[in-house]
């Protein structure tokens, strides 16, 4: 056994396709443990898809993912997850504490109901994001920033070694942004690995130790200082690789599972 | 018993007219993804029909239609109010409104039972036979048409006029609501007008096919049609074809089995949907299965050709180092054997002394495949900066999908490399001298 | 206590148990977006009932309901298969399965009816709109047993289903078998719908799931109370409908039960304290009136601020053209009654209480203005321009900062400092 700690997340030759068309090409990267990692790239670059593939929510066309050197598991050994706010129905009949308690279900197992220990853990998570006073608030009454904090608290209640967050800073106010960043730093101090999909280039250097530059393929990955450079950003944002796009289209045409798919007429869903 | 004899013909006419006008309006419901609104309206209009019927005391369509129109707009607007203003889940709002109204209609039907010559059975499953016998109150050239045919004929005409007048608007709003909005076509009034026409069509048809089966005639023909074609006119015409076919099939099978015509019409149109779902040329299950199979065979063939080509390269000593890792292309045995047989049959390989050898034609295909493979490895290496050990598998997946044109442009983009990242020669696009010799 | 005959009591037991199960099952169906799928499922049971009758020749419920279960489940599977691949939308698939299966049922029952009229009349027609009148005690007890089992299952899996309904992705990440839980829920829905057939009928069976749950959602904001209330509504509607149909035997029971549920929904819609129409309208009116009051005080305050020496006349306020002369008079009279203004010798004067309130109002609105101007990233949902107190909306240090920049420009209203934060 030697020197360097094993990577927190190991992504090996990961290709992800939607309707047979590749949207992420051959991502091969190791994410070091105990760091704040930003995933940066233009719209439609596949940032969320990468997160969802790491979490096992989409089945990759090829490749595999390991977390702490092992295939994904649940609860204490799994992944904490902060999804995009729009991904759930905020009219659902639950209050803030209910949502945060969901983060403890994984360790609780079948049939058992959350007890005092779980409630304490959830309240502690709410305190960390400054929402303890709103624990009994119905979730429909929350502001956008507050909804984001609830999701963050739920992830904290998961108490996982690795956290994956999909645009937690998008559309929140300055106070929430600061609060979220504070939580990220606390997590790092506790030795957790946090991977954050981020869209604001201005704050990348301030927030993260490590960065993944993504645009359908991995453009670069590494410590901020070496990686977050002008050339790499130009390569990431300077238009897509036309041939890669066309190859994806050729795969889509050549495959069978795709002909049925077309964008819905009114752009919904 | 034939479909065209004196007793069957009026039934056929009424059934076909009902199916036709339902399919016409229903096509727009399906294309606008409001299929279930048709369901909701056909249920929701029941109390309106009963009240209209009770007040006028006759089966004349006008009072029933007025009642139904009020109830239909009520269903639409109430659902909308619950969903938009009071934030009740859309499906739930619709479910609450139309089931409650339908229950109200059934109860009213019993309350007015003395005055109303409608029975719940007829409302639920319709009676084409009756609608075809009941004569109209006038005669044309001494012939008294069935009342149902007159009502449905007029309805079909009105539907046609509606569609022709608002063709452009319906086309745009059906495919792109946002675009329509930006062009100044108000979606609201058009939507309400369509709901009104749905109500009219449903009232005219429900006597023939019943209030639930009318849903089948409204939406299923259009669903079949969308499996067959992409264009609006195509969908409308195909839906008409399906509607008429299911009217004929429904009547024929109902006579054979001695049962309800409306029920068999719904079964027929459902059967047509099943057939289209399984067999439609582009979308059907079987054609897709076959295409997937032929793709799998092609990939297995190409993999075989590619490995034979590489083996020849190695024998000639020009292949450089063989790739260090990576599993050999894996296909199930039946696919490998099938691919081998097909290649031999097409004279791309020959088998002699238990070994396969490429023919000139097969060598060409193998060479082009290896060329695509190695060019793509170069592309991945140069532009995605993948390490050499990670190149083979991705290239192996994509090599089957790149066409000559795209391959040529990849070559151009890479400035015509001569070797792949592992140092092996990239075959040229055109024939090599070795192939001409054979 | 209404005297109830033995027969009616049996039917009451059966329908009440049904309402109990349907309320909780319906709530989960609703929250998982399966409301209309359950309608397709209900209609799809009709051919199964007829086929079971044809095969067994028996009119006993167990046999017919097994048939119902079979084609109902087939209908659900077909909806899933049809809508799995994009071209056919789920709602169209639901409509198609609903209507075509129902058509098959109508055709089958027509065929049965023409061959043996009496048997069919008695057995099968009752399944269209429900005919619980002939329910046997054993059947009612069976329904009650299944209802109890349903409630136990819901109690056991409430946590798991809550998670899957709210955020299936998160459930999957946490390792919960989402498909298995969905399948279990679908089985529960199917059982409940089939159980509802003899009482409510094929056409309206789904309503007994959907309506009580939707009504309950209007009253409560958490899952377990919603389950309990929906079940109570289910029982109430079933009992009311059954009693009504016992009183008016000509009226069909199923539609009466659904109408009772619909009435409960309508009442909830009107009077529910939080989401009801009446409550919303009252709150909206109160808000509007309060806004007008604040506007009046604020206007008088700024008029005085601009020219401390000259009095504020009614004419000056009217020239602002915010209110018509009649409305202005009414608002002024209202403010006077509340002790905020008085008619002085030279025009309108603010009382001490009025001045304090007005200063608070103006301070708040200027702080909001400043907040919108100075902060680049704002939480739009927090902004409430009508709020008089800002302390609970914005963090205190931010309010202090905004106040400072107002004071620097002499815009902080005098007399507002002492206001409770």
pLDDT at residue number A258: 45
A168 touches chain C (CB under 8 A): no
pLDDT band at C376 (very low <50, low <70, confident <90, very high): low
CA A74 to chain centroid, in Å, comes to 16
Contact B92, C26 (CB under 8 A): no
Burial class (CB in 10 A: 0-12, 13-18, 19+), A242: exposed
Cα angle value C168/C169/C173 (rounded, 5°): 115
A89 touches chain C (CB under 8 A): yes
Residue B151's alpha-carbon distances to B61, B158, B203, in angstroms, are 7, 11, 10
B247 touches chain C (CB under 8 A): no
CB contact under 8 A, A87 and C167: yes
Q: Closest to C95 (Cβ–Cβ): which among B39, B87, B257? A: B39
- What does the block give as tokens for B323? 């790739």
Cβ-Cβ contacts under 8 Å, B214 against chain C: 99
Residue owning tokens 């044809």: C54
pLDDT at residue number B372: 92
End-to-end CA distance of chain C: give it in Å, rounded. Answer: 57
- Smallest CA-to-CA distance from C414 within C342, C354, C359 is with C359
pLDDT band at A73 (very low <50, low <70, confident <90, very high): low
Q: Closest to B401 (Cβ–Cβ): which among A61, A251, A264? A: A251
Residue B55's alpha-carbon distances to B64, B115, B116, C259, in angstroms, are 9, 9, 9, 22
- What does the block give as tokens for A265? 């007429």
DSSP A77-133: GSEEEE--GGGS-TTSS-BHHHHHHGGGHHHH-SSPPP-HHHHHHHHHHHHHTT-GG
Region for A99 from its dihedrals, namely left if φ exceeds 0, alpha if ψ lies in -120 to 50, beta otherwise: alpha
Residue A89 has pLDDT above 60, yes or no: yes
Mutate to test the interface with B, among C28, C40, C95 (most CBs of B within 10 A): C95
pLDDT at residue number C199: 87
A141 touches chain B (CB under 8 A): no
Q: How far apart are CA A200 and CA A179, in angstroms?
A: 17
Neighbours of chain C (3+ CB pairs under 8 A): A, B
pLDDT at residue number B265: 94
Cβ-Cβ contacts under 8 Å, C159 against chain A: 105, 108, 111-114
Q: How far apart are CA B372 and CA B429, in angstroms?
A: 10
- Smallest CA-to-CA distance from C229 within C210, C241, C242, C212 is with C212
CB contact under 8 A, C214 and B110: no
3-class SS at C272? coil
CB contact under 8 A, A75 and C160: no
Contacts of B69 (CB under 8 A, 6+ apart): B48, B196, B199, B200
**Each residue of A201-257: pLDDT tens digit?**
989 999 999 999 999 899 999 999 999 998 899 888 886 677 888 888 888 888 765
Cβ-Cβ contacts under 8 Å, C92 against chain B: 30, 33, 35-36, 219, 223
CB contact under 8 A, B213 and C94: no
pLDDT at residue number A268: 32
3-class SS at C312? strand
What percentage of chain A exceeds 70 in pLDDT? 90
DSSP C100-162: HHHHHHHHHHHHHHHHSHHHHHHHTTHHHH--GGG--HHHHHHHHHHHHHHHHHHHHHHHHHH
Contact C218, C38 (CB under 8 A): no
A42 touches chain C (CB under 8 A): no
CA B122 to chain centroid, in Å, comes to 32
pLDDT at residue number A175: 81
User: C292-350 architecture in CATH?
Assistant: Orthogonal Bundle (1.10)
Contacts of C267 (CB under 8 A, 6+ apart): none
**Each residue of C31-86: pLDDT tens digit?**
999 999 999 999 999 999 999 988 887 777 788 899 999 999 999 999 999 988 76
Contact C202, C127 (CB under 8 A): yes
DSSP B84: I
Strands C341-344 and C347-350: antiparallel
- What does the block give as tokens for B1? 């018993």
pLDDT band at C118 (very low <50, low <70, confident <90, very high): low
A20 touches chain C (CB under 8 A): no
CB contact under 8 A, A250 and B403: yes
CA dihedral B79, B85, B91, B92 (to 10 degrees): -90
Contacts of B351 (CB under 8 A, 6+ apart): B344, B357
B395 touches chain C (CB under 8 A): no
Cβ-Cβ contacts under 8 Å, B409 against chain A: 243, 246
CB contact under 8 A, B387 and A246: no
CATH of C9-207, one of 3.30.70.100, 1.10.10.10, 1.10.3470.10, 3.20.20.70: 1.10.3470.10
Mutate to test the interface with A, among C167, C272, C397 (most CBs of A within 10 A): C167
Residue C76's alpha-carbon distances to B39, B369, C81, C83, in angstroms, are 17, 46, 9, 11
Residue C149's alpha-carbon distances to A239, C25, C32, in angstroms, are 60, 12, 21
**Average pLDDT of C390-416?**
73
**Average pLDDT of A71-84?**
75
**Average pLDDT of A35-45?**
92
C272 touches chain B (CB under 8 A): no
Domains annotated on chain B, with CATH: 8-282 (1.10.3470.10), 288-413 (1.10.10.10)
Strands A210-215 and A36-40: parallel
C124 touches chain B (CB under 8 A): no
C234 touches chain B (CB under 8 A): no
CB contact under 8 A, A94 and C166: yes
DSSP A211: E
Mind telling me how many Å the CA of A232 is from chain C's nearest CA?
28
Mind telling me how many Å the CA of A171 is from chain C's nearest CA?
8
Cα angle value C347/C348/C354 (rounded, 5°): 160
pLDDT at residue number C372: 76
Region for C404 from its dihedrals, namely left if φ exceeds 0, alpha if ψ lies in -120 to 50, beta otherwise: alpha
A206 touches chain B (CB under 8 A): no
Cβ-Cβ contacts under 8 Å, A141 against chain B: none
The residue ranges of chain B whose pLDDT is under 50 are 319-328, 436-438
SS (H, E, C) A33-62: CCCEEEEECCCCCCHHHHHHHHHCCCCCCE
Q: How far apart are CA C418 and CA C421, in angstroms?
A: 9
- What does the block give as tokens for B422? 């592992």
pLDDT at residue number A75: 46
CB contact under 8 A, B92 and C101: no
pLDDT at residue number C387: 66
Closest chain B residue to C202, measured at CA: B124
The per-residue pLDDT of chain C, averaged, comes to 86
Mutate to test the interface with A, among B383, B407, B410, B413 (most CBs of A within 10 A): B383
- Smallest CA-to-CA distance from B38 within B199, B263, B157, B187 is with B199
Cβ-Cβ contacts under 8 Å, C395 against chain A: 175
pLDDT at residue number B374: 92
Residue B73's alpha-carbon distances to B80, B188, B190, C154, C160, in angstroms, are 10, 12, 13, 38, 40
Strands A210-215 and A217-223: antiparallel
Find the chain B residues whose C-beta atoms sit closer than 8 A to any C-beta of A.
Answer: 31-33, 87, 89, 174-178, 282-283, 288, 291-292, 295, 376, 379-380, 383-384, 386-387, 390, 393-394, 397-398, 400-403, 406, 409-410, 413
Mutate to test the interface with B, among C105, C107, C113, C218 (most CBs of B within 10 A): C107
Closest chain A residue to B175, measured at CA: A265
CB contact under 8 A, C165 and A92: yes
pLDDT at residue number B243: 96
- What does the block give as tokens for B275? 């057939």
pLDDT at residue number C20: 96
pLDDT at residue number C382: 63
Mind telling me how many Å the CA of B78 is from chain C's nearest CA?
12
Contact A210, A38 (CB under 8 A): yes
Cβ-Cβ contacts under 8 Å, C167 against chain A: 83, 87-88, 102
CB contact under 8 A, B266 and C100: yes
Q: In this predicted model, which residue has the larger pLDDT, A267 or B95?
A: B95
pLDDT at residue number C327: 80
Closest chain A residue to B87, measured at CA: A91
Closest chain B residue to A269, measured at CA: B33
pLDDT at residue number C3: 61
- What does the block give as tokens for B211? 């209030």
CB atoms within 10 A of CB B283: 19
Residue A76 has pLDDT above 60, yes or no: no
C191-226 burial, b if ≥16 CB within 10 A, otherwise e?
A: bbbbbbbbbbbbbbbbbbbbbbbbbbbbbbbebbeb
In chain A, positions 197-236, which contact chain C (CB-CB < 8 Å)? none
pLDDT at residue number A67: 87
Domain boundaries, chain C: 9-207, 292-350, 356-421
How many CA atoms are closer than 13 Å to the CA of C121, on its beta-carbon side? 4
CB atoms within 10 A of CB C261: 35
Cβ-Cβ contacts under 8 Å, B295 against chain A: 254-256
Residue A141 has pLDDT above 80, yes or no: yes
Task: Pick the range with the lowest mean pLDDT from A90-99, B82-91, B329-338, C200-209.
Answer: B329-338
CB contact under 8 A, C173 and A105: no
């Amino acid at each position: 056994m030697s020197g360097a700690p094993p990577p927190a997340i190991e992504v090996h030759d990961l290709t992800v396709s939607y309707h047979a068309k590749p949207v992420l090409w051959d991502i091969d990267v190791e994410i070091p443990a105990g760091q704040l990692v930003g995933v940066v790239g233009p719209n439609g670059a596949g940032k969320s898809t990468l997160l969802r593939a790491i979490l096992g929510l989409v089945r990759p066309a090829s490749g595999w993912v390991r977390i702490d050197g092992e295939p994904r598991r649940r609860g204490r050994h799994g992944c904490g997850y902060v999804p995009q706010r729009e991904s759930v129905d905020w009219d659902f009949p639950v209050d803030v504490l209910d949502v945060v308690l969901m983060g403890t279900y994984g360790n609780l197992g079948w049939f058992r109901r959350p007890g005092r220990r779980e409630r304490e853990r959830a309240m502690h998570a709410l305190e960390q994001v400054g929402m303890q006073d709103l624990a009994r608030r119905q979730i429909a009454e929350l502001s956008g920033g507050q909804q984001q904090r609830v999701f963050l608290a739920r992830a904290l209640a998961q108490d996982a070694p690795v956290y994956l967050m999909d645009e937690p800073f998008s559309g929140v106010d300055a106070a929430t942004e600061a609060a979220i960043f504070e939580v990220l730093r606390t997590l790092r101090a506790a030795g957790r690995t946090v991977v954050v999909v981020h869209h604001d280039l201005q704050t990348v250097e301030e927030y993260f130790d490590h960065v993944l530059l993504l645009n359908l393929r991995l453009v670069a990955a590494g410590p901020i200082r070496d990686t977050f450079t002008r050339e790499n950003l130009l390569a990431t944002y300077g238009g897509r690789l036309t041939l890669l796009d066309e190859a994806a289209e050729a795969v889509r045409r050549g495959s069978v599972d795709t002909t049925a798919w077309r964008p819905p007429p009114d752009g919904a869903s | 018993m034939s479909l065209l004899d004196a007793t069957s013909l009026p039934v056929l006419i009424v059934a076909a007219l009902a199916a036709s006008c339902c399919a016409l309006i229903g096509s727009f419901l399906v294309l606008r993804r409001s299929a279930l609104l048709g369901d909701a309206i056909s249920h929701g209009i029941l109390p309106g029909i009963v009240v209209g019927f009770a007040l006028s005391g006759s089966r004349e369509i006008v009072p029933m239609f007025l009642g139904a129109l009020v109830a239909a707009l009520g269903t639409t607007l109430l659902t909308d109010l619950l969903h938009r203003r009071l934030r009740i889940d859309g499906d739930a709002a619709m479910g609450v409104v139309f089931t409650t109204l339908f229950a109200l209609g059934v109860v009213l039907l019993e309350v007015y039972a003395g005055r109303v010559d409608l029975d719940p059975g007829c409302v639920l499953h319709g009676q084409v036979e009756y609608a075809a016998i009941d004569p109209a109150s006038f005669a044309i050239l001494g012939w008294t048409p069935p009342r149902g045919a007159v009502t449905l004929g007029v309805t079909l005409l009105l539907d046609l006029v509606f569609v022709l007048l608002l063709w452009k608007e319906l086309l745009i709003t059906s495919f792109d609501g946002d675009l329509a909005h930006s062009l100044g076509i108000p979606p609201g009034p058009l939507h309400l007008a369509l709901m009104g026409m749905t109500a009219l069509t449903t009232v005219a048809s429900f006597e023939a096919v019943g209030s639930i089966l009318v849903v089948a005639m409204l939406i299923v023909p259009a669903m079949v049609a969308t499996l067959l074609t992409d264009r609006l006119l195509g969908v409308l015409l195909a839906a008409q074809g399906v509607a008429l076919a299911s009217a004929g099939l429904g009547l024929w099978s109902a006579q054979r089995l001695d049962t309800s015509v409306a029920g068999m019409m719904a079964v027929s149109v459902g059967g047509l949907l099943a057939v289209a779902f399984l067999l439609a040329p582009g979308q059907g299950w079987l054609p897709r299965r076959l295409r997937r199979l032929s793709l799998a065979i092609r990939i297995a063939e190409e993999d075989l050709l590619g490995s034979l080509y590489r083996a020849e390269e190695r024998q000639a000593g020009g292949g450089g180092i063989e790739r260090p890792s990576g599993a050999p292309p894996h296909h199930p045995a039946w696919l490998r054997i099938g691919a081998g047989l097909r290649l031999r049959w097409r004279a791309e390989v020959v088998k002699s002394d238990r070994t396969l050898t490429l023919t000139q034609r097969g060598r060409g295909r193998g060479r082009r495949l290896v060329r695509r493979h190695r060019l793509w490895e170069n592309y991945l290496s140069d532009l995605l900066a993948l390490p050499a050990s990670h190149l083979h598998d991705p290239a192996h997946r994509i090599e089957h999908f790149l066409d000559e044109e795209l391959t040529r442009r990849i070559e151009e983009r890479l400035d015509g490399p001569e070797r792949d990242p592992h140092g092996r020669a990239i075959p040229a696009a055109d024939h090599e001298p070795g192939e001409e010799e054979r | 206590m209404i005297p109830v005959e033995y027969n009616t009591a049996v039917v009451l037991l059966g329908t009440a148990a049904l309402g109990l199960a349907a309320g909780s099952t319906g709530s989960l169906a609703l929250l998982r977006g399966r409301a209309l799928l359950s309608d397709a499922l209900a209609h799809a049971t009709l051919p199964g009932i007829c086929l079971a009758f044809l095969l067994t020749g028996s009119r006993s419920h167990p046999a017919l309901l097994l048939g119902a279960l079979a084609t109902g489940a087939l209908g659900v599977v077909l909806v899933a298969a049809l809508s799995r691949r994009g071209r056919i939308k789920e709602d169209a698939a639901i409509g198609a399965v609903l209507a075509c299966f129902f058509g098959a049922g109508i055709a089958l029952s027509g065929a049965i009816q023409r061959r043996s009229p009496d048997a069919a009349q008695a057995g099968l027609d009752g399944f269209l709109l429900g005919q619980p009148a002939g329910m046997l005690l054993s059947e009612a007890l069976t329904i009650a047993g299944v209802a109890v089992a349903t409630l136990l299952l819901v109690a056991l899996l409430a946590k798991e289903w809550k998670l899957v309904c709210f955020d299936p992705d998160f459930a999957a990440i946490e390792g919960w078998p989402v498909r298995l839980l969905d399948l279990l829920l679908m089985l529960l829905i199917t059982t409940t719908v089939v159980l509802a057939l003899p009482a409510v009928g094929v056409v309206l069976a789904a309503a007994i799931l959907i309506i009580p749950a939707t009504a309950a959602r209007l009253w409560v904001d958490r899952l377990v109370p919603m389950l309990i209330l929906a079940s109570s509504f289910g029982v109430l509607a079933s009992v009311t409908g059954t009693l009504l149909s016992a009183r008016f035997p000509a009226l069909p029971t199923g539609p009466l039960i659904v109408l009772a549920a619909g009435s409960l929904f309508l009442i909830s819609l009107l009077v529910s304290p939080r989401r009801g129409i009446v409550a919303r309208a009252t709150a909206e009116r109160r808000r509007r009136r309060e806004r007008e009051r604040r506007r009046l005080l604020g206007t008088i305050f700024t008029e005085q601020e601009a020219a401390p020496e000259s009095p504020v006349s009614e004419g000056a306020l009217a020239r602002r053209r915010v209110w018509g002369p009649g409305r202005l008079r009414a608002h002024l009279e209202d403010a006077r009654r509340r002790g905020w203004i008085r008619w002085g010798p030279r025009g309108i004067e603010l009382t001490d209480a009025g001045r304090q309130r007005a200063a608070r109002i103006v301070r708040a609105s200027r702080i909001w203005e400043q907040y919108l101007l100075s902060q680049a990233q704002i939480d739009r949902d927090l902004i409430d321009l009508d709020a008089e107190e800002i302390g609970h909306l914005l963090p205190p240090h931010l309010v202090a900062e905004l106040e400072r920049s107002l004071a620097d420009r002499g815009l902080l209203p005098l007399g507002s400092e002492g206001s409770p934060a």
